[in-house]
A and B are shown apart, each in its own frame.
Chain A
Amino acid sequence: MLSQFNLPIGPFSFAIKTDNKIVIDNISSLYADYNLHKTIDFVDFPITITTRSLLRRLIKPQVDFFIDEFAPFKPLPKDQSFAMLEWGMNWCIATKAHHFLITHAGAIEKNGKVIVMPAEPGSGKSTLTAAMVNSGWRLFSDELALISIADELVYPITRPINLKNSSIDIIDQFADNAVFSSIANDTHKGTVALLKPPTESVQRMHEAAPLHCVVFPKYVANAQATLTAVDTMDCFQQLIHHSFNYHILGLDGFNLIASLMNKVKCYQFEYSDFEQAKILLNNLVE
């Protein structure tokens, strides 16, 4: 029997149906601060997580992701069920929400100012995001930064933070009372677990805010935390490189980035220590 959860995530509404116990347990835990059973007038993304093959319920169990009864991905091992849901939700937003410029970036906010942190996979973006939102920053996203074409504001899509491999233990030790999902092993990203977002970030997930600066983070072992100014042309190119949908937005995307480049500063950021990182990032928004 399918359980249903209605998930309001910032400007989007997800309806999740599933008979998968791993997904049910993890949604109940990590989305405990969300208004899960509130009736939603319009569902943007109707998702089902289930196993379509009877054989695969018994032998090497797998799970399927459906969006509106269409399966865009191959099945994954059952222990990756919750991770698959999260990746699938990212895919839904990244492929459909073209009223935003969507960048592969972390986004955090403090004092009404948003820092967007575009980065290559594996550079420590999600780990840094997790550390900062457990240090007084508001979580917008650890994966997708959404900048509205209409009003140039950054919109939160506050959801669990995706951590992998050693980052899981690092954040577990750094954050007080960290709540994690069940661990998914042997994924294409390695060992993965999701971190419950801070309650205040969830409560404020409908509050957009202006972009203050763009910071390109890179974890470098034993490095002193340093911010180095990046010129506008480099930043413009990097934002295009890290965006999912610049090629779809056309002139709208170009004009948006051009407008932002005249207003915000851009930095390269190397760090190894969260306390040092906190000081430098806090100074940017004071």
Chain B
Amino acid sequence: MEIILSKYITIIKIKEGIVLFNKFSGDTHFITVPNCNIIKTLAEQSYSLEELLAKYFMNIPKNNVDADVTLFNQFITDAIGSGIIVEDIAE
């Protein structure tokens, strides 16, 4: 399964990270580093979870890999639940 940023999401960059607006739900989301890098990555194209995780680890110090993987998975789960990230269904 590949995932991508929802087409309904508008991204604004600010000093502390990014702010997202979901035009479908009307929700506003505030995302700080390092998770904002995930969003910026998925805004460019779709990725599998494994590819995305590899990219995620390229940008953060490897202090506690297990905890970082847990946090990454939790963020992805929350983002999918919020409609920020969706499955990329090829047309």
Give the B-binding residues of A (Cβ under 8 A): 231-233, 236-237, 240, 247, 250-251, 254-255, 258, 261-262
Interface pair A254/B32, CB less than 8 Å apart: no
Determine the main DSSP class of A at the interface with B: helix
The 3 A-B pairs at the shortest CB distance, nearest first, are namely A254-B21, A258-B12, A233-B16
Partner among B10, B15, B19, B21 whose Cβ is within 8 Å of the Cβ of A231: B15
Q: Is B74 located at the chain interface by the 8 A CB criterion?
A: no
Q: Supply 13 further A-B pairs (C-beta < 8 A) apart from A233-B17, A255-B12, A258-B14.
A: A231-B16, A232-B16, A233-B16, A233-B30, A233-B32, A236-B19, A237-B30, A250-B23, A254-B10, A254-B12, A254-B19, A254-B28, A262-B14
Determine the main DSSP class of B at the interface with A: strand
Give the A-binding residues of B (Cβ under 8 A): 10, 12, 14-17, 19, 21, 23, 26, 28, 30, 32
A-B contact number at CB 8 A:
36
Cα separation A169 to B69 with both chains bound (whole Å): 59
Cα separation A255 to B28 with both chains bound (whole Å): 11
> What residues on B are CB-neighbors of A262 within 8 Å?
14
> What residues on A are CB-neighbors of B10 within 8 Å?
251, 254-255
Cα separation A255 to B10 with both chains bound (whole Å): 9
> What residues on A are CB-neighbors of B15 within 8 Å?
231-233
Cα separation A258 to B19 with both chains bound (whole Å): 8
Give the residue name and chain of the B residue nearest to A261 (CB).
B14
Cα separation A184 to B15 with both chains bound (whole Å): 47
> What residues on B are CB-neighbors of A231 within 8 Å?
15-16
